[in-house]
A and B are shown apart, each in its own frame.
Chain A
């Protein structure tokens, strides 16, 4: 069964450092998303991406964040200068259709900023 894969599963970084979280969405999907879940809190939408551009972003997704689909298969989330409050589980998701259908989620990357 096709699945969304995320790497790494865990990432520890020092405050102020740049991190790149990587995702390989399901191959024929067109819509890509990043969500995050701070420990003990709800899953929050960060950004959606379609046709090689951001289609929607939340207020969390400020100038420190960027997304890219560099090679037609990977989908990355970059945090330029990490803060302690960026520590969270980051989930990538992909969806095949504009009509709402289920989004398929990856296993997540746990980011710890120290």
Chain B
């Protein structure tokens, strides 16, 4: 079984400040990890993913995340928040299966960016 925990359902940051969203996962096999963003009244858009290889992955809109196996974490960061980053962010885990791979999502973190 796999699970995802996102610490903090709401995060408020000032424009230009560091964005740090925490994600811890549980998986009995090597995980594949994803961050998705959901803007108001829209679907889920992939920000970045970790499958294998380099543990620091870069995504769209200046976001990056680091896979730390020893800490079972995949925290998302952005050095400088922009007003357009206001959205809900979901961490998700998946493992390879015979026929496709379902995603297990965390509870989401809603980001508010203050001017």
Task: Categorize the interface residue count of chain A.
Answer: 20 to 34
Taking each of B44, B45, B100, B101, which has the highest tally of chain A beta carbons within 10 Å of its own beta carbon? B100
Interface of A is mostly: strand
Contact B96 A99 (CB under 8 A): yes
- Smallest CB separation, B24 vs chain A (Å): 15
Taking each of A41, A42, A95, A108, which has the highest tally of chain B beta carbons within 10 Å of its own beta carbon? A42
Contact B43 A56 (CB under 8 A): no
Contact B43 A107 (CB under 8 A): yes
Q: A100-B51, A100-B94, A102-B49 are in contact. Are A95 and B101 (CB under 8 A)?
A: yes
Q: Is B98 among interface residues, defined by CB-CB distance under 8 A?
A: yes
A75 proximity list for chain B (CB < 8 A): none
Q: A100-B32, A102-B49 are in contact. Are A48 and B102 (CB under 8 A)?
A: yes
B46 proximity list for chain A (CB < 8 A): 102-104
Contact B107 A42 (CB under 8 A): yes
Interchain Cβ contacts within 8 Å, total number? 75
Q: Which residue of A lies closest to B108 (CB)?
A: A42
Complex CA gap A107/B42 in Å reads 5
Complex CA gap A81/B43 in Å reads 26
Q: A106-B43, A107-B43 are in contact. Are A100 and B101 (CB under 8 A)?
A: yes
Residues of B within 8 A of A (CB): 32, 34, 36, 42-46, 49, 51, 90, 92, 94-108
If A48-B99, A55-B100 are given as contacts, then 4 extra A-B residue pairs at C-beta distance below 8 Å, sorted by A number, are: A41-B107, A43-B92, A93-B44, A98-B98
Task: Enumerate 25 A-B pairs (CB-CB under 8 Å) in ascending A order.
Answer: A4-B43, A33-B100, A35-B103, A43-B44, A43-B90, A43-B103, A45-B103, A48-B100, A50-B100, A51-B99, A55-B97, A56-B100, A56-B102, A91-B44, A98-B97, A98-B99, A98-B101, A100-B51, A101-B49, A101-B51, A102-B34, A103-B46, A106-B43, A107-B42, A108-B42
